Amino acid sequence: MGLDYQLVLWNKYKKTYDKIIALSMLLYVMVFAGVTFAFNSETSIETLVIRAFGSLAIIMLHLILIIGPLSRLNRRFLPILYNRRHLGVSMFIAAFIHGGFSMFQFHALGDVNPIYSIFTSNMDYGSLTNFPFQVLGFLALLILFVMASTSHDFFLGNLSAKVWKRLHMMVYVAYALIIAHVFLGAFQQETSFFTIGVLAIGFIIVTSLHLITAFKERKIDRTKVSEKDGWLEVCNISEIEEDRAKIFTVDNERVAIFKYDGKLSAIHNVCKHQGGPLGEGKIIDGCITCPWHGYQYLPSNGQSPPPFTEKVATYELKLDGEMVFINPKAFEEGTEVNPCKI
């Protein structure tokens, strides 16, 4: 939603979040180093860096993966979601330091290409106990590189929101690879129940939150609406909060019905930016504001206010007493529809 591209879209809040991220990362590495040297003073600097940044990247990846479902379950987490992009890039930097040092320490000092060496130094691909786990880490790092390097609105606009989203959904493939990398790798050498336990708890939290969110979403899709002369009766007007929306599934599409200034308007629920749920946002300065990244649309026509050009489909509403009815046939994106007066 801009007329040119900025290096980084910083504002006062994002700068604060970034400072918190940087300081937390620094603090973690320092504490990790302190604890490591306290219990094992013979640890080399390279090993310390590899372990500190590897574990840091995994913790950050877990945080990144739970922000989405948490913010769907509780609006208080939305500000963190707003800053997830920077957390993702920071996580890649931590993973890159881990991968870079690992590659240097284990593969760069011989006469074989280091990347080739990762794949061929251990050819025991059929073994579970001696699997070449570094290959999994390398592939995960490759995915994280693609994601981090395309974490900019230039790519969102030029790859299309659909392709961009698909690329970034690869984070789950990276997560699976990383889990396998850690289980098959680190535990081959060091069977620490604490590390296994922490990773298992992390996996359970990530999976549970995703499942809970999926059940919640499914409930929206399964809500029965009754039809009357081609109109669908969706809810009582009192069920919609002022300046907020209620989401319904109409004709297999999610629609958000907003109540504001004594009026009702309905638009397609999916933001054009990154597919954010517009119906979970609110009306700010007369515009429907996406809860994910603040993209805005006018409720009456689904258009971003000029000079921006994003548009979503609109729907016709009517009131029968206290009951809200929607015409399931969507208008073209950006079509002006008179708001339904309460």
Partner 1 sequence: MEIAINVFLGILGVYFLVGLLVGIIFLLKAKKFDPLMADTKKKVRFLLFPGVIATWPFLIGKLFKSKTV
Q: Which residues of 29-49 are buried (b: 16+ CB within 10 A; e: fewer)?
A: beebbeeeeeeeeeeeeeebb
AA identity, residue 324:
V
116 binds partner 1 (CB under 8 A): yes
Told to check if 154 binds partner 1 by CB under 8 A, we report yes
Do the Cβ atoms of 152 and 35 come closer than 8 Å?
Answer: no
The correct pick among 73, 163, 214, 284 for binding partner 1 (CB under 8 A) is: 163
Residue selected from 78, 146, 220, 342 as contacting partner 1 according to rule CB under 8 A: 146
In this chain, which stretch among 43-51, 157-165, 290-298, 304-312 interacts with partner 1, using CB under 8 A?
157-165
Using the contact rule CB under 8 A, the part of the chain among 24-32, 118-126, 195-203, 243-251 near partner 1 is 118-126
Nearest to residue 256, comparing CAs of 323, 212, 315? Answer: 315
Closest CB 119 distance from partner 1, rounded Å: 5
In angstroms, how far apart are the furthest CA atoms of the chain?
Answer: 81
Stretch that binds partner 1, among 16-24, 154-162, 169-177, 267-275 (CB under 8 A): 154-162
Which residue in the block uniquely carries the two structure tokens 């336990």? 197
Contact range with partner 1 by CB under 8 A, out of 32-40, 100-108, 116-124, 218-226:
116-124
Strand, coil or helix: 297:
strand
Angle between helical axes of 45-73 and 84-107 (0-180°, round to 10): 150
Q: Is 4 a binder of partner 1 (CB under 8 A)? A: yes
Q: Is 150 in the site for partner 1 (CB under 8 A)?
A: yes
Residues numbered 121-140 forming contacts with partner 1, rule: CB under 8 A: 123, 125
187 near partner 1, rule: CB under 8 A: no
Alpha carbons 184 and 329: distance in angstroms, whole number? 52
- Please tell me whether residue 3 binds partner 1 under the rule CB under 8 A: yes
In the complex with partner 1, which residue's Cβ is closer, 5 or 172? Answer: 5
Can you tell me the distance from the alpha carbon of 90 to that of 53, in angstroms, rounded to the nearest whole number?
11
Q: Which of 167, 180, 196, 225 binds partner 1 (CB under 8 A)?
A: 167
Report the alpha-carbon distance of residue 309 to residue 2 in Å, rounded: 9
Answer yes or no whether residue 120 interacts with partner 1 by CB under 8 A: yes
Query: Is residue 47 involved in binding partner 1 (CB under 8 A)?
Result: no
Calpha distance 72→190 (Å, rounded): 38
Of 32, 77, 155, 308, the one binding partner 1 by CB under 8 A? 155
* Residue 227 Cα distances to 37, 219, 239, 301, 325, angstroms: 69, 19, 19, 25, 9
Q: Give contact residues for partner 1 (rule: CB under 8 A).
A: 2-7, 115-116, 119-120, 123, 125, 145-146, 149-152, 154-155, 157-159, 163, 167
